[in-house]
Structure 1
Amino acid sequence: MTTVRLSDVDNVVTAKTQLAIGDEGAIDIIPRGHKMATCDIAKGDPVLKYAQVIGYAAQDIAKGAHIHTHNLEFRNVDASYEFGTNLRPVAPATKQDTFMGYKRPTGRVGTRNYIAVLTSVNCSATAARMIASHFTPDILAAYPNVDGVVAFVHGTGCAMGGDGTGFEMLQRTLWGYAKNPNVGGVLLAGLGCEMMQIDWLIEAYGLKSGPTFQTMNIQDVGGLRKTVALGIKKIEAMLPVVNQSTREEVPASELMVALQCGGSDAWSGITANPAVGYACDLLVAQGGTGVLAETPEIYGAEHLLTARAATPEIGEKLIDLIKWWEDYTTRNRGSMDNNPSPGNKAGGLTTILEKSLGAAAKGGTTPLNGVYKYAEQVTAKGFTFMDSPGYDPASVTGQIASGCNLVCFTTGRGSAFGAKPSPSMKVATNTEMFNRLHEDMDINAGTIISDGKSVEDVGREIYEMWLRMASGEKTKSEEIGLGDYEFVPWQVGAVM
């Protein structure tokens, strides 16, 4: 067969390869990854994939026709929600898996050991980059337990208006990076007169200066040149202390994995995302944590997650996020269906509903144990959700701030993404793209289609790589050098 049917109730199939007119009853050319109608569908009737509605026929659609943006329309979700009706707890693993990680005084465990140069405002971004760039591989060779000195700079921190939501988000993000277990030392640099005052951040989150946490601002130090010189001295003093950390054997329950997708295609919800979901189930069985995000990309699939909510309160928190996003897009004269990008659509995804049903598969099948604000510390174990936009760098930034010490990123069109301080592995959805971008892809989930592998086999391959990368094995993105420019805090509210 050259098509894939995902459910007996579906009225579409997905083409494994481009179908010519006449192939399997096609009356149009069906591009690879795109949908073909398996029966006549009347105008206004629902189109089903994954046994769920992905849109409505914008016109009468004949059996064998190509279904895409020209004849499938989106409608806002109007669902009634059930809570806790599909709870499938995973039995604890019979064997405790381990990895080699860095134990922190907070009790959390890191998979990397970085020194972070954080900025309170964009005005100190150049200083931070100059400080970090001083510490070349030759200098750091004397500190083998330090993975690097990285500047995390952003384009905001001042002139922030609105209701304070954006200010609070940035505070949580900066604090979250400072406390991420993959960070062994922090230098926080500011200008001095910005809205995001360093002293306020320290007071709000109980941070204390010490050998591995230092602060300064340009106005007090006496200018850019002096600030860079002082920052270099502070990190030179910090390096021997951070280098004292060594890897120890720790249980897999200490892993918190950011579940992420970008450059998605029609295969994302068929191969890579379900495989990551299976890996997430394996991690949850070990007592670990998976963090799904990208709220606009669960839109239309949120009812599947509320049915897995461990409590009604957790389910209600998720619905509140959906309502906020509906209001947010309306206020900004947008639509939730604006999310699928041109690349997503070229890859066969037509509506946000179709994209969301595939994206939600990354969360596996276990109960939803917590719902969190953007960059809020995730404290629950098991499968959880964090609010974020669908824009990958902003979403991953929030997940790392929430405490994630690994990132698992699925992609169908291809993505050259990496993040520091948490190593990022990339899972290809199809073999064609994996072969084309093999220098960037860590695992090929496309073998589920091309080679007949099972979702479970690829899922276990992903999970086992999580353990190896947590112990120090470099991902493709780390080998290439990605991750220095992917710190993108979500900015909400007016710039004044």
Structure 2
Amino acid sequence: MPAFLRLGPDDDVLIATRDIAAGTALPGAAGAASASIPAGHKAAARDIAAGSPVRRYNQIIGFATRDIRAGEHVHLHNLAMREFERDHAFCADAKPQQPASETLTFNGIVRADGQVATRNYIGVISSVNCSATVCRQIAEAFRGDALRDYPNVDGVVAITHKSGCGMASQGEAVDLLRRVTAGYLRHPNFAAVLFIGLGCESNQVSALLGAENLAESDRLRAMTIQELGGTRSTIERGIALVRELLPKANAVRREAVPVSHIRVGLQCGGSDGYSGITANPALGAAMDLLVAHGGTAILSETPEIYGAEHLLTRRAVSPEVGEKLLARIRWWEDYTQRLGGEMNNNPSPGNKAGGLTTILEKSLGAVAKAGASNLADVVEYAQPVTAHGLVFMDTPGYDPVSATGQVAGGANVICFTTGRGSVYGCKPAPSLKLATNSMMYRRMSEDMDINCGAILDGTLSVQEAGAQIFRRIIEVASGSRTMSEEHGFGEDEFAPWILGPTM
């Protein structure tokens, strides 16, 4: 690979493909790097006057805070955010979607209600932090060889959290927690669930079931610690109930079902300067294939599409869908201002060390995960995703909170791109890790599923890498285990979005 990449013909910056020594010649321009430039970071492709916009991907990523000479390192010391107008042009780039000419299938588990699962767990879910220990100890009883007679059951999973009390029993905060919890209670990747509360919490078990139109059944069992007489009796009762549920949970078989039943939650974490060049566009290419086969891609992390939202509104299928996205952007602007923050309180320190300077730069790379499909719908956090195609879900940028909302909304696979090396799982949905560069992939090969750094190395094109990701998604949806599953990730990462004051 050359020492530098220029991603757009009008870009003001070049991306270093490796650590660059001072004096390294710039491509297509007179001059050389005036200082050492770390891999993934930016060098000025031309002289840039103070106050001028700076472009990457042919889009503005910030403004020069001083004169920058060709060959200089461009980063936090000379590039910053500034307000500027973006052309949202609702629906301008929306195009007729061409369905695939063939029907692809994967081996899924068809539930009685017609939903299709990619995994087959029993869940033990807490309504409140006070019942978390009980839930974990029930699940712990089924570790090791305890499930040897139930080969079709992937495990007994404790889904616990730190909230559910110390909050108002009515209002937006508890409604959101109930929506998330109900999404997990309904999730097809659970063959059955136990729902356990303490008994006196704000997030009452009976109130949640009523608000979400859920009822106890042979698949959903509910109990409270206070009614059962305490911790030990509740654990014993929970273990007995799981044992009752196991034979039916085991009596499933995988069968060929259309790929249109796959719903992929898109995440990026620990991003670097290559995320928007390799893994994110490769994942976008995979999502275009999934959408063409009738599946669903769920893009999220609203603070991390900030500044690139105009690329999505232009692909909206209707002005109403485009306006729904801008309404969520405005909500976030008000939310951060109200709390004394700002939308550019991102990238993270790790992102900056990897070469990302502003949220605009990060967002432009993050949006690439969505591919080129039309934006079919916009939903709020943890709302059920019913549309097929590309859907945007409003979530924070913090990956565990974001992915929790996606799974609650129905995602049955997660794809997670990373440049610095995030480790993450999201039971009951399997999580695939896509490395942005080969150096990190080799260093953390026990955590990574696919090396998109091959794009940077010149051995794969973006489209070829996308096809590889798409094939692997089908394999994983059919039961093949991911690296995060091998390590046991996914229970502790359940993290509902906490709104409102702690009382």
Smaller-chain TM-score bracket: over 0.9
CA distance, structure 2, for counterparts of residue 128 and residue 78 of structure 1: 50
Letter in 2 for 1:157: G
Alignment length, in residue pairs? 496
Note if contact 2:125-2:195 (Cα within 8 Å) is conserved in structure 1.
yes
Shift of 1:139: 1.4
- 1:352 — aligned with what? 359
- 1:11 — aligned with what? 12
- 1:172 — aligned with what? 179
Letter in 2 for 1:337: N
Q: Does 1:431 align with 2:432?
A: no
- 1:244 — aligned with what? 251
Q: Does 1:198 align with 2:205?
A: yes
Residue deviations 1:111-156 (CA, integer Å, cap 9, x gap): 0001111111000000000111011231111111110000000000
CA distance, structure 2, for counterparts of residue 244 and residue 472 of structure 1: 16
Question: Which is worse superposed, 385-394 or 79-88?
Answer: 79-88
Question: Which is worse superposed, 124-133 or 475-484?
Answer: 475-484
Residue deviations 1:11-56 (CA, integer Å, cap 9, x gap): 1010001211110211121111100001111111100001000000
Question: Which is worse superposed, 434-443 or 12-21?
Answer: 12-21
CA distance, structure 2, for counterparts of residue 278 and residue 216 of structure 1: 45
CA distance, structure 2, for counterparts of residue 105 and residue 89 of structure 1: 34
Q: Structure 1: 5+ residue runs without aligned partners? A: none
Residue deviations 1:261-287 (CA, integer Å, cap 9, x gap): 100001000000000000000000100
Residue from 154, 164, 167 that aligns with 2:161: 154
Shift of 1:163: 7.9
Residue deviations 1:216-273 (CA, integer Å, cap 9, x gap): 0011111111111111111111111111121111000000000111000010000000
Sequence identity (%): 53
Q: Secondary structure at the match of 1:338?
A: coil
Question: Which is worse superposed, 293-302 or 330-339?
Answer: 330-339
Note if contact 1:264-1:413 (Cα within 8 Å) is conserved in structure 2.
yes
CA distance, structure 2, for counterparts of residue 63 and residue 78 of structure 1: 27
Note if contact 2:169-2:203 (Cα within 8 Å) is conserved in structure 1.
no
TM-score by length of 1: 0.98
TM-score by length of 2: 0.97
Q: Secondary structure at the match of 2:146?
A: helix
Note if contact 1:89-1:366 (Cα within 8 Å) is conserved in structure 2.
no
- 2:29 — aligned with what? none
- 1:329 — aligned with what? 336
CA distance, structure 2, for counterparts of residue 204 and residue 239 of structure 1: 28
CA distance, structure 1, for counterparts of residue 286 and residue 217 of structure 2: 39
Note if contact 1:212-1:241 (Cα within 8 Å) is conserved in structure 2.
no
Letter in 2 for 1:176: G
CA distance, structure 2, for counterparts of residue 317 and residue 399 of structure 1: 18
CA distance, structure 2, for counterparts of residue 78 and residue 115 of structure 1: 50
Note if contact 1:339-1:390 (Cα within 8 Å) is conserved in structure 2.
no
Note if contact 1:77-1:300 (Cα within 8 Å) is conserved in structure 2.
no
CA distance, structure 2, for counterparts of residue 465 and residue 204 of structure 1: 38
Shift of 1:103: 0.5
Shift of 1:452: 3.6
Q: Structure 2: 5+ residue runs without aligned partners? A: 26-31
Within a 5 Å distance, the mapping from 1:123-138 to structure 2 comes to 123-138=130-145
CA distance, structure 1, for counterparts of residue 142 and residue 84 of structure 2: 51
Residue from 272, 278, 285 that aligns with 2:279: 272
Q: Does 1:390 align with 2:397?
A: yes
Note if contact 2:190-2:428 (Cα within 8 Å) is conserved in structure 1.
yes
Seen in structure 2, the aligned counterparts of structure 1 residues 162 and 207 have a Cα distance that, compared at 3 Å, is closer
CA distance, structure 2, for counterparts of residue 78 and residue 152 of structure 1: 43
Shift of 1:345: 0.3
Letter in 2 for 1:407: I
Letter in 2 for 1:275: A
Note if contact 1:211-1:241 (Cα within 8 Å) is conserved in structure 2.
no
Residue deviations 1:430-474 (CA, integer Å, cap 9, x gap): 000000000000000000011341000000000000000011001
Q: Secondary structure at the match of 1:237?
A: helix
Note if contact 2:47-2:69 (Cα within 8 Å) is conserved in structure 1.
yes
Residue deviations 1:48-107 (CA, integer Å, cap 9, x gap): 001000000011111111000011011245434211001134311111111111101222
Within a 5 Å distance, the mapping from 1:52-63 to structure 2 comes to 52-63=59-70
Within a 5 Å distance, the mapping from 1:38-187 to structure 2 comes to 38-76=45-83, 78-161=85-168, 164-187=171-194
Letter in 1 for 2:472: M
Seen in structure 2, the aligned counterparts of structure 1 residues 162 and 12 have a Cα distance that, compared at 3 Å, is farther
- 1:411 — aligned with what? 418
CA distance, structure 2, for counterparts of residue 150 and residue 89 of structure 1: 42
Note if contact 1:112-1:182 (Cα within 8 Å) is conserved in structure 2.
yes
Q: Secondary structure at the match of 1:384?
A: strand
Residue from 191, 207, 216 that aligns with 1:209: 216
Note if contact 1:366-1:383 (Cα within 8 Å) is conserved in structure 2.
yes
Note if contact 1:427-1:441 (Cα within 8 Å) is conserved in structure 2.
yes
Q: Secondary structure at the match of 2:500?
A: coil
Within a 5 Å distance, the mapping from 1:356-395 to structure 2 comes to 356-395=363-402
Q: Does 1:290 align with 2:297?
A: yes
CA distance, structure 2, for counterparts of residue 15 and residue 452 of structure 1: 18
CA distance, structure 1, for counterparts of residue 242 and residue 411 of structure 2: 24
Letter in 2 for 1:97: L
